[in-house]
Chain A
Amino acid sequence: MAENSSGDTTSVVQVLDSTLESADTAETIVVKAAEEMGFDEDTRYQIGMALREAVVNAVVHGNCYNEHKKVRLSVSREPDRLRILVTDEGKGFEPSSVPDPLAQENLMNQSGRGIFLMKAFMDEFDVRKADPKGTEFKLVKYLNQKS
């Protein structure tokens, strides 16, 4: 795990294997950071949930459990927010291709709720193509703000 401090921001980068256990590892790292920043328990739960969804997405859909592909977790503690980046090495991903899980015809689908939950639990959420390849999820939670 690489740690870097710049001004009022402390960043940690962890490279994770494409396994489901990485979601546990990532959750531990992020929830610990959130606790140290002063987020309350309910908010830490929300952050942990969103983060797990992002890592699972990277492992399962991005890297397809490929042991040669990694998931990069970046956790930045800024004065007023926690910023998380989860990046896979997959083929890329088009968010608009995910059906709306709240639409009546999709309500009873077994899957497809991960992105919705990430958006629901975080203050900022973004998906973009990573450079040189893969997908990057950005999750941001503001301090001292009720969600």
Chain B
Amino acid sequence: MSIKLTTRKVGDVTVIDSVGRITLGEGASSFRDAIRDLVANGDKKLLLNLAEVTYIDSSGIGELVSGFTTVTNQGGSLKLLHLTKRIQDLLQITKLYTVFEVFDDEAEAVRSFA
């Protein structure tokens, strides 16, 4: 299974609900395209919900980083929600856990964009 991405608005924050695997190929490119399209559309407050992302490889991590950079360079924010333990561990060992703002509660995450 690749990645399935759906978006919804909570106030002026776009929540990207992700299901599946973010790996080199279709998964990573779908993620990249989604971020790019949202930013192009003027959506710069992005909350990536990773609760149902079962797997992310080094390319997937690269797309998270690239997405973060893209959004930040456009004056926006990309934050992470509901990391599984495995993804949290991955971000910690790659020293990226402190780069991203990470939340366990959606309401709190949405408030943080204010």
**A interface vs B, CB < 8 Å?**
20, 23, 45, 49, 52-53, 56, 60, 101-102, 107-111, 113-114, 116-117, 120
Contacts and interface: CB of A to CB of B under 8 A. Distances in A.
B94 A60 contact: no
Interface of B: 23-25, 57-59, 61-63, 65-66, 68-69, 86, 90, 93-96, 99
A117 B23 CA distance: 14
Given A109-B65, A110-B62, A110-B65, A52 B94 contact: no
A120 B58 CA distance: 12
Contacts of B57: 49, 52-53, 56, 117
Given A107-B95, A111-B59, A113-B94, A20 B66 contact: no
B24 A56 contact: yes
A60 B62 CA distance: 15
Q: Helix, strand, loop or mixed for chain A's interface? A: helix
Dominant secondary structure at the B interface:
helix
Contact of B58 (A45, A102, A107, A117): A117
Contacts of B62: 109-111, 113
A109 B57 CA distance: 15
Contacts of B23: 23, 52
B24 A60 contact: yes
B41 to A, nearest CB: 22
A108 B99 contact: yes
B86 A113 contact: no
A57 to B, nearest CB: 9
Contacts of B86: 45
